């Protein structure tokens, strides 16, 4: 009843050659006489032979699949990177094992281990924080690991990012240039390196450059959800803020809509600038000004870098920094 699978052995027999020869033609090895190649190809076609990738993986120690750890596919920022990753992966004949981590350290470690057990040829990690434990796991992995749109303070792993500090500083400076003195810093969990080591640093830098003193009452730490942003309005108003830099687009949309719904005019009375330049920025009204990041490219470049690493090619620069920009839309003056 079970469908019979045809193996390389069957092909060899039918074509009256050895398995080695069949293997050669399947893998495009040039050391095969054209006539034999043709004969084998015909049999392969006739028998509808499909090489078993698992067996191939065991024998060759290469699985042509890479693991991708993503906080949440549902998040526009990360799914954009994921798309870039998958496209390039496909281009280089790799497949992607995608797993959501919810940025949960324990889950990340566990997932990483199952990926390694599955003998992936490489790993791309996305997440706002690289814990010590995770870093250790990365080190013992024999498959190369590259971080995409994710920072590691230790810079131990190859990665591709933008210059978050500079980008945020520029965004905040923009707000300052518009005359704002009390600028809120709204971000996700402050225990994530991306927030406290990069974004906050850029925020402080901009303030300092402008001679504005830092006030931690203007720092709002929440989780990355629309709702969280939406319910921030009272606090924002109470703190006397007239503008905000927000670390995530969905969160920013929440902040902005919360403000608007409460009757605060954006950007008239309150300016908002966000970080990720996902589609969302264009959908909301007013459209959100944002730091621009080459989302797709961050993923694509990360994957490309990974292919080089997997191929043992020497790469000139392990940590690549892509250019960012500032896109003025309608949530700032």
Interface with DNA (CB under 7 A): 5, 7-9, 16-21, 23-24, 26-27, 30-36, 49-52, 55-56, 58-61
Identity of the residue, 18 or 114, whose beta carbon is nearer to a copy of itself in the bound complex: 114
- Residue 35 binding: pick among a copy of itself, DNA, none (C-beta 5-8 Å cut-off by kind): DNA
Q: Name the binder of 94 from DNA, a copy of itself, none, CB < 5-8 A by kind.
A: none
Q: Give the Cα separation of 317 and 14 in Å (integer).
A: 50
List of long-range contacts for 304-310, beta carbons under 8 Å, 24+ apart: 304/88, 305/146, 305/158, 305/160, 306/66, 306/122, 306/123, 306/124, 306/144, 306/146, 306/158, 307/88, 307/92, 307/94, 307/122, 309/122, 309/144, 309/146, 309/158, 310/66, 310/121, 310/122, 310/143, 310/144
Picked from DNA, a copy of itself, none, the partner binding residue 23 (CB below 5 to 8 A depending on kind) is DNA
Q: Tell me the C-alpha distance between 9 and 27, whole Å.
A: 15
**Minimum separation from the CB atom of position 121 to DNA (A):** 13
Residue 279 interacting with a copy of itself (CB under 8 A):
yes
Cα separation, 42 vs 185, in Å, equals 66
CB nearer to DNA: give 59 or 238. 59
The least distance separating DNA from the CB of residue 13, rounded to whole angstroms, comes to 10
> What residues numbered 143-202 form the site for a copy of itself, per CB under 8 A?
none
The residues in 231-260 that bind a copy of itself, with binding defined as CB under 8 A, are 250, 253, 257, 260
Closest of 310, 305, 315 to residue 84, by C-alpha:
305
Among 138, 203, 220, 226, binds a copy of itself (CB under 8 A): 226
Q: Side-chain half-sphere of 300: how many Cα atoms within 13 Å?
A: 11
**Contact at 8 Å (CB) between 273 and 199?**
no
User: What are 68's two structure tokens?
Assistant: 């991708």
Closest contact distance (angstroms) between CB of 5 and DNA is 5
Q: How far is CA 139 from the centre of its chain?
A: 20
Residues that contact a copy of itself, how many (by CB under 8 A): 50
Residue number, 35 or 54, with CB nearest to a copy of itself: 54
Stretch that binds a copy of itself, among 10-18, 75-83, 173-181, 309-317 (CB under 8 A): 75-83
Could you identify the residue written with the tokens 């498959």? 143
Question: Which residues make up the interface to a copy of itself (CB under 8 A)?
Answer: 2-3, 5, 50-55, 57-58, 63, 65, 72-74, 76, 79-80, 82-83, 86-87, 90, 95-100, 113-119, 140, 142, 226, 250, 253, 257, 260, 279-280, 282-285
């Amino acid at each position: 009843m079970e469908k019979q699978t045809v193996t390389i052995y069957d092909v060899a027999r039918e074509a009256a050659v050895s398995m080695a020869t069949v293997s050669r033609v399947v893998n495009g090895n040039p050391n095969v006489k054209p006539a034999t190649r043709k004969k084998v190809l015909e049999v392969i076609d006739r028998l509808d032979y499909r090489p078993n990738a698992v067996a191939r993986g065991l024998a060759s120690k290469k699985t042509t699949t890479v693991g991708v750890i993503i906080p949440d596919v549902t998040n526009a920022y990360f799914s954009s990177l994921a798309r870039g990753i998958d496209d390039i992966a496909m281009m280089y004949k790799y497949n992607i094992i995608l797993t959501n981590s919810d940025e949960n350290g324990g889950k990340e470690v566990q997932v990483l281990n199952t990926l390694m057990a599955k003998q992936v040829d490489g790993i791309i990690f996305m997440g706002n924080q690289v814990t010590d434990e995770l870093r250790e796991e990365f080190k013992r992995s024999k498959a190369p690991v590259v971080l995409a749109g994710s920072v590691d303070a230790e810079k131990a792993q190859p990665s591709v990012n933008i210059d978050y500090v500079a980008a945020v500083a520029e965004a905040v400076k923009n707000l300052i240039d518009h005359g704002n003195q009390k600028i809120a810093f709204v971000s996700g969990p402050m225990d994530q390196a991306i927030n406290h080591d990069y974004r906050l640093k850029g925020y402080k830098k901009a303030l300092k450059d402008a001679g504005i003193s830092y006030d931690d009452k203007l720092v709002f730490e929440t989780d990355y959800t629309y709702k969280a942003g939406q319910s921030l309005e009272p606090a924002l108003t109470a703190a006397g803020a007239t503008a905000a830099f927000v670390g995530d687009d969905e969160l920013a949309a929440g902040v902005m809509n919360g403000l608007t719904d409460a009757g605060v005019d954006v950007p008239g009375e309150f300016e908002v600038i966000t970080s990720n330049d996902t589609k969302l920025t264009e959908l909301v009204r007013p459209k959100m000004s944002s730091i621009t990041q080459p989302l797709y490219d961050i993923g694509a470049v990360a994957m490309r870098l990974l292919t080089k690493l997997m191929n043992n090619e020497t790469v000139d620069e392990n940590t690549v920094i892509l250019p960012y920009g500032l896109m003025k839309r309608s949530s700032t003056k």
